[in-house]
Structure 1
Amino acid sequence: MRVTQSMLSSNFLRNVSNSYERMGKYQEQLSTGKKVTKPSDDPVVAMKGMNYRTELTEVQQYQRNLGEVHTWMDNSDAAMDKMTKALQRTRELAVQASNDSYEEGQRANIAKEVRQLKEHLIDLGNTKVNDKHIFNGTSTTNPRFDKDGNLDTANANSAAVNIEVSDGVKIRVNTNPSNIFVDSESGQSMMEALENFATDLESGETGETGDQLDDHIENIDGFINQVVNERASLGARMNRVDMIENRLNSQEITTTQVLSDNEDVDVEKVIMNLKSQESVHRAALSTGARIIQPTLMDFLR
């Protein structure tokens, strides 16, 4: 095949254009820090990047969900801790009132403190966090008790509030208020039991041998145990949440690393490639200047 000057010129221009394109690619990689800027650059890398980024987004959403989980659980645990202390103080007062040396007026004064403790427990039962009542099941917009400690039967429930913390894994973040505020044997509510206790103290109805006060002490002990048991159940779920959180943190680190390995450029390698391509480009230009033959105009100068 006869090689003409035109063919040499065309090949030279095509090769120079390709060289510019390669240098432009390396410069773009350095400026963006990414291997690809559009799917056509490398469809495989682009598709993997989409999958890894979706996975990372899901992990980060679950981590945000865990923040909500901690809010519910930490506040529930703190409220039940205060409930336990209030009930323990109520028990101390019941034991104190059972002393035979106490007169009716002294027991009436104890009743006043019992009612204050009842008010405190009502406030704890209506604990509100982030504009949500955490001891009223899924009816989070309504308080569980009215100001007298009566259950809001129209709105109260003990249903589970579940939050997804991993793919297909949901955790109950609230407690079962029925296990806290309702006696498991008699069905009597905590507030009703405390009101009856205060009323008996005021009226002097303590039984001939103080057995009526003993019944109140037994009721209070039952509520203390129920709060402790529900708090233990919550604590077990909190431990599980901590393990899930550690796993999600590890997943985030791993996914971020894999995403970086897939998309991010090796800066040192790209710089070396760019320098090498610049050398090749200069050599090509130099060679092209020698290949292209002088024209008649060069001799007429």
Structure 2
Amino acid sequence: MRVTQSMLTSNMLRNLSNSYDRMGKLQEQISTQKKFSKPSDNPVAVMMGMNYRKGLNQVQQFSQNIGEVKNWVDSTDGALDQATSVLQRIRELTVQASNGTLDADQRKSINEEVKQLKEQLVNIGDTQIGDKYIFNGQQTNVRPSDTGNYGSGTIELEVFSGIKLQVNTDGSALFGDLKDPNGSINKLIAGLENNDPSIGNMLSGIDDKINQVLTVRAQVGARQNRVELMEDRLSQQETFATQVLSKNEDIDIEKAIMDLTTQESVQKAALSVGARIIQPSLMDFLR
């Protein structure tokens, strides 16, 4: 087959165009730090990337949920810690009041402090996270002390595929008797007002109240440990999902720069050879 000058020129131009195209892709990859910019560049990688990104988004949503769970549980533990301190102070005052040597004014002072401590317990029972009351069951928009009836029902958040954790704590056993005349604290207040000589017998009711709070707090502590374990697991999953997605989509920047440098050298060589292939003009001969 006879090779003509036009064939050589056509091949040279086509090869130069292909070389420019490869350089353009490398420059775009370095600029975006992505292996592809449109689905047609690598349809398989695009489909895989969609699945990887879906998994990563799911893990990130679970991470947000576990953060919300942790917020509720930590706030509950803090509130119960305060409640324990208040109840222990009430117990101390009950022991003092059971001393038969106290006069009426001293008992009155103790009674006033007990009343204030009771109000503090009411405030603790109204603890909020944002605009949600954490001890009122599923009725998180209702202040428990307004009704005196603490709502029931559990609130759960999904923290992993198929795994849910309870975020709230039933407040009825802890604060539900604060408006009940037969509640241990209200009986104590009534006894102090009436100079009841059997104040010491009310210690058992206060102790039961303290034990109730400590039992619930132990349950909350166990829930905190579970939350921390799930938090660590989600952190590992997020790291793994991010790495897989990056491996599928992101370029190796150092390799891409080396490839671009190599392609630039190839381009320069192609231009140099092409200049020799193009047929000299008549003026070149006349020189």
Q: Same fold (TM over 0.5)?
A: yes
Is residue 122–residue 175 contact of structure 2 (8 Å, CA) maintained in 1? no
**The residue matched to 1:96 in structure 2 has which SS?**
helix
* Mapped pair 1:169 → 2:160: no
Is residue 122–residue 191 contact of structure 1 (8 Å, CA) maintained in 2? no
> Moved runs in structure 1, 4+ residues, more than 6 A?
none
1:109–1:289: structure 2 CA closer, same or farther, 3 Å change rule? closer
Count of aligned residue pairs for this structure pair: 287
TM-superposition CA deviations, 1:239-294 (whole Å, max 9, x none): 01011111111222222222222222222222221222222222222222333333
Is residue 156–residue 165 contact of structure 2 (8 Å, CA) maintained in 1? yes
Cα distance in 1, alignment partners of residues 184 and 166 from structure 2:
29
1:22 deviation in Å? Answer: 0.5
TM-superposition CA deviations, 1:24-63 (whole Å, max 9, x none): 1111111121111112112222222222222222222222
Cα distance in 2, alignment partners of residues 102 and 54 from structure 1:
71
Q: Equivalent residues in 2 for 1:1-301 (5 A)?
A: 1-146=1-146, 151=148, 153=149, 156-182=150-176, 192-206=183-197, 210=198, 213-214=200-201, 216-296=202-282, 298-299=284-285
Is residue 180–residue 186 contact of structure 2 (8 Å, CA) maintained in 1? no
1:300 deviation in Å? Answer: 6.0
TM-superposition CA deviations, 1:142-193 (whole Å, max 9, x none): 11113xxx61x4xx4121121222222221111111232357xxx9959833
Cα distance in 2, alignment partners of residues 201 and 157 from structure 1:
31
**The residue matched to 2:183 in structure 1 has which SS?**
helix
Is residue 126–residue 135 contact of structure 2 (8 Å, CA) maintained in 1? yes
1:84 deviation in Å? Answer: 0.8
Q: Which runs of 5+ in 2 are unaligned?
A: none
Cα distance in 1, alignment partners of residues 140 and 66 from structure 2:
19
Cα distance in 1, alignment partners of residues 33 and 60 from structure 2:
23
**The residue matched to 1:145 in structure 2 has which SS?**
helix
Is residue 95–residue 203 contact of structure 2 (8 Å, CA) maintained in 1? yes
1:177–1:190: structure 2 CA closer, same or farther, 3 Å change rule? farther
1:122 deviation in Å? Answer: 0.7
1:125 deviation in Å? Answer: 0.7
Is residue 161–residue 172 contact of structure 1 (8 Å, CA) maintained in 2? yes
1:97–1:60: structure 2 CA closer, same or farther, 3 Å change rule? same
1:102 deviation in Å? Answer: 2.9
Q: Which runs of 5+ in 1 are unaligned?
A: none
Cα distance in 2, alignment partners of residues 118 and 280 from structure 1:
85
Is residue 158–residue 164 contact of structure 2 (8 Å, CA) maintained in 1? yes
Is residue 137–residue 158 contact of structure 1 (8 Å, CA) maintained in 2? yes
| TM-score, normalised via structure 1 length | 0.86
Q: Which 10-residue stretch deviates more, 250-259 or 31-40?
A: 250-259
Is residue 83–residue 121 contact of structure 2 (8 Å, CA) maintained in 1? yes
1:105 deviation in Å? Answer: 4.5
TM-superposition CA deviations, 1:44-97 (whole Å, max 9, x none): 222222222222222222222233222211111111111111111111222222
